[in-house]
Amino acid sequence: AQTVTQSQPEMSVQEAETVTLSCTYDTSESDYYLFWYKQPPSRQMILVIRQEAYKQQNATENRFSVNFQKAAKSFSLKISDSQLGDAAMYFCAYRSPNTGNQFYFGTGTSLTVIP
């Protein structure tokens, strides 16, 4: 099974500043998809951003962007102009097209936004 590692259990950022959350994964596949999900205290899982491995261009969604380094198997999330509503648990996920399209999740990073 693929392994997804989030090495930062907790992170904090000042409001309006930028923070980067790290994610690495282990795979022998060449074609796959990567996702970041946000889980606020309401516990709802919300899609933040997604990236196709065959695309070299990094995905961007408003204040959220990724740094996808395929060779290094790294997929970090950058949050710019952090807002109080960004405080949540963030999960990195890998989707494998070769194992029934199963998703593999990291253990999460808890982000605190300091006013």
Partner 1 sequence: DADVTQTPRNRITKTGKRIMLECSQTKGHDRMYWYRQDPGLGLRLIYYSFDVKDINKGEISDGYSVSRQAQAKFSLSLESAIPNQTALYFCATSDPEGGGQDTQYFGPGTRLTVL
User: Which residues lie near partner 1 (CB under 8 A)?
Assistant: 1, 4, 9, 33, 35, 37, 42-47, 50, 52, 91, 93, 95, 100-103, 105-108
Phi/psi class of residue 95: alpha, beta or left (left: φ > 0; alpha: ψ in -120 to 50)?
Answer: beta
Cα separation, 19 vs 77, whole angstroms: 8
Task: Name the minimum Å distance from CB 31 to partner 1.
Answer: 11
| CB closer to partner 1 out of 45 and 114 | 45
| CB closer to partner 1 out of 42 and 115 | 42
| CB closer to partner 1 out of 87 and 92 | 92
How far apart, in Å, are the Cα atoms of 46 and each of 16, 26, 40, 73, 90? 21, 24, 8, 23, 9
Cα separation, 50 vs 66, whole angstroms: 9
Task: Name the minimum Å distance from CB 16 to partner 1.
Answer: 29
Task: Name the minimum Å distance from CB 95 to partner 1.
Answer: 6
Task: Name the minimum Å distance from CB 35 to partner 1.
Answer: 7
Cα separation, 25 vs 80, whole angstroms: 24
| CB closer to partner 1 out of 78 and 95 | 95
